[in-house]
Amino acid sequence: MLGTTLTLRMIGLTAALLALGGLGGLVAKAIGLPMPFMLGSLASGALAVALFQDGLLRNYRFPMRFRTGFIGLIGVMIGTQVQPDLLREAGDLILTLSALAIFVVLAHFGNYLIFRRLGGYTKATAYFAGMPGGLMESLVMGERSGAELPVLTAQQFLRIIIVITFVPLALSLWLGHPVGSAAGLTPSAPEPVTPLALLFIVIAATAGLAIARVIHLPAGQITGPMLLAGAVTLTGAVDLHLPFWLIAVAQVVVGASLGLRFSGMTGAMLRRCAGLSVISVLWMLILGAGFAAGLSLATGLPFLQLMISYSPGGVTEMSVIALSLAANPALVSLHHVVRILFTVLFMSLAERRLNLGRD
């Protein structure tokens, strides 16, 4: 009976938070904010935490399986955008993916100096807080090396939150209009999305998640469904187009779950971590813009795609941004998966040679 009551409470709170997130998205859209459904739901989730973390939301945890399901749907939607052109760009991709290794090293070095010199963090905390990717891996390795876990957690989550806030705002200023409403992805075909098409999307997401779990794909929540849907799309066997409302709902789920990450942070910790994170993110975005500009000249790939590809947010969040901007989301997702692989590989190798436990 108690278990049933707790389950019903979790379902009720989750539904209320998502409704609040959807309302926040509509408000953000009405006032012309970029990526309105993600940023509006993120702000709504953060507001709910600020008001109710010691009351209604005490001991509440957003259901991660529910979030994973929507991430799988995002992966499928990205996979349906895979075109033969992506294969023809293989030569350019070798260059842009290889350059990520240099980006990761430079980004991490600058972040370490920011957190160590400006923040006064211990070596271990500064080292793992500065990782430009691999959120969960940074927490595991950081805890093992004696980093301050609450601070490390705050810095890593703030990195993602600030990136997905800064990037759409910066692109809106650059382009002269709000971006990311998903208007560019409304189907070109006049017919609505059929229940059969939605069933195919759900089946592909479920199968892709299962395959990723079995073969241990990196960022498997999104890459498994993406690869499966991409392979099916390239065969021409299934033609799925993308319902705007599903992209908007996915943004609300991702945004609301990110907003809840502020739970447990004190005002003093949040102010300190947020200030350092803004400096860190600006460093990485400026560095990424430099790489994107140079690689765009060298390869002819659009600067916008490369800029999003080199922005150090989470795979899911940056893929949603690319999907909403119709900015070759498959290419963007590929770069973010490789960035995380490079980050985890380099940091793991360096961790073994550095004595991070001593200051």
What confidence category does residue 186 fall into, taking pLDDT thresholds of 50, 70 and 90? very low
Alpha-carbon span 129 to 112, nearest angstrom: 8
Does residue 308 surpass a pLDDT of 80? Answer: yes
What are the pLDDT digits (tens) for 258-271? 888 887 777 788 88
The whole-number average pLDDT for the span 64-81 is: 84
**Contacts of range 108-112, beta carbons closer than 8 Å, 24 or more positions apart:** 108/132, 108/343, 108/346, 108/347, 110/280, 110/283, 110/284, 110/287, 111/280, 111/283, 111/284
What are the pLDDT digits (tens) for 261-300? 887 777 788 888 999 999 999 999 999 999 999 999 999 9
pLDDT of 185 reads 42
Does residue 183 surpass a pLDDT of 60? Answer: no
Of 172 and 10, the structure prediction assigns the larger pLDDT to 10
Average pLDDT of every residue of the chain: 83
SS3 331: helix
The whole-number average pLDDT for the span 6-20 is: 88
Most confident option among 32-36, 197-201, 267-271, 298-302: 298-302
**By the 8 A CB rule, do 131 and 280 touch?**
no
From the list 200, 226, 205, 198, the residue with the least C-alpha distance to 328 is 226
* Least confident window among 34-38, 54-58, 193-197: 193-197
Alpha-carbon span 194 to 212, nearest angstrom: 27
Helix, strand, coil percentages in the chain from 3-state DSSP, rounded to 5: 75, 0, 25
Q: What is the pTM of this model?
A: 0.80
Alpha-carbon span 353 to 78, nearest angstrom: 39
226-243: buried (b, 16+ CB within 10 Å) or exposed (e) per residue? bbbbbebbeeeeeebbbb
pLDDT of 319 reads 81
pLDDT of 298 reads 93
What are the pLDDT digits (tens) for 115-131? 999 999 999 999 999 99
The whole-number average pLDDT for the span 208-217 is: 88
* Least confident window among 22-36, 192-206, 207-221: 192-206
**By the 8 A CB rule, do 312 and 159 touch?**
yes
pLDDT of 23 reads 95
The whole-number average pLDDT for the span 80-103 is: 79
Does residue 22 surpass a pLDDT of 50? Answer: yes
pLDDT of 306 reads 93
